[in-house]
Amino acid sequence: MTTLVRQLTRIPGLRHLWRKFPVGSAHLRVEFDIWDYPAYAYGVYSAANLARLLGHDGISVIEFGVAGGSGLVALEQISEHLSMELGVRISAFGFDTGQGMPEPTDYRDLPYVWGPGFYRMDPDALRHRLHNAQLLLGNVGDTVKQFCATVKDPIGFVSFDLDYHSSTKSALSIFQAHACTRLPRVFCYFDDVIWPERACYSEYAGEYLAIREFNAQYEAMKLSKIPHLSWMRQHAAAWNEQMYVLHDFFHPEYCTNITPVSGRQM
Ligand SMILES: C[S@@+](CC[C@H](N)C(=O)[O-])C[C@H]1O[C@@H](n2cnc3c(N)ncnc32)[C@H](O)[C@@H]1O
């Protein structure tokens, strides 16, 4: 089946058409990137599957940086579909100031690309488009702490799309909370590591610096890019370069074996 679909999806325009008429299982559509935000679909699917294998009945998924809301609406839709198919409850949350980008702190926020007031949102209009996803408005430095104190299901997927180094660093403090607030491996998407080209990203500013500083700060937790993801996908895509995993090595479930019985070559 997969081989046939792979051959068919090599026909120019077919995947575009499939996205317009999204038939087939959610799993198959994740495999072939038949979603508006395929990176989100991959991250939520991987997290929900991990949760299922570990015996959890629910997860939380997050978008940091919501702006007009296209990403959060997509995250909510993906969560609803995958929740039904995998039998795992998936709660979606979006974090934003609600007033666009704050003031940059210094050169590390790449003020030559972004500035205060960029990406303003209309919170009321967005809330009308959402069914279950929750919007948490305010600076992530404050809202993350409140969220960690109340989160019910472990965090399984996080999209970081806050543009600034300072904002991303604040958002990453979500992993300072107790291990029970997250899965042992959390799928993470970093938006601001490719494009726009004029950003000339480097490991000395922006999201790359926030990731490097996080890894220097923690011995037992590391953010690591998923190596060679494009080779494991049916069709390679740019987002494959943006997927990381938070490894929480001392998490009580980190070493729990998740290989299905059929895959255990005894
Ligand atoms: C590029 S936009 C997000 C786009 C969105 N993810 C999408 O796919 O449509 C970046 C957003 O990050 C938000 N943001 C940046 N720094 C923030 C901070 N410190 N606290 C809360 N929100 C912040 C801005 O308000 C802005 O809406």
Q: What is the three-class DSSP state of 263?
A: helix
**What pLDDT digit, counting tens, does each position of 111-158 carry?**
999 999 999 999 999 999 999 999 999 999 999 999 999 999 999 999
If you measure from the C-alpha of residue 94 to the centroid of ligand 1, how many angstroms do you get, rounded to a whole number? 10
Say which residues have a Cβ less than 8 Å from residue 31's Cβ, sequence separation at least 6: 2, 234
Domain residue limits, the chain: 36-257
CA-closest residue to ligand 1 atom 6: 66
**What pLDDT digit, counting tens, does each position of 58-103 carry?**
999 999 999 999 999 999 999 999 999 999 999 999 999 999 999 9
Per the CATH hierarchy, to which homologous superfamily does domain 36-257 belong?
Answer: Vaccinia Virus protein VP39 (3.40.50.150)
Show the tokens assigned to 210.
């926030």
Strands (E), the chain: 58-64, 89-96, 134-137, 155-160, 182-190, 221-225, 243-248
Q: Report whether 250 contacts 183 (CB < 8 A).
A: no
Average pLDDT, the chain: 96
User: What ligand 1 atom has the least distance to the C-alpha of 37?
Assistant: 8
Query: Which residues does a 6 A CB cutoff place in the pocket of ligand 1?
Result: 63, 65-68, 70-71, 95-97, 100-102, 119, 139-140, 161-164, 167, 170
Q: Report whether 39 contacts 225 (CB < 8 A).
A: no
Res. 254 pLDDT band, cuts 50 70 90: very high
Res. 240 pLDDT band, cuts 50 70 90: very high
Distance, in Å, from the CA atom of 58 to the CA atom of 202, rounded to the nearest integer, reads 36
Q: What's the predicted TM-score (pTM) here? A: 0.97
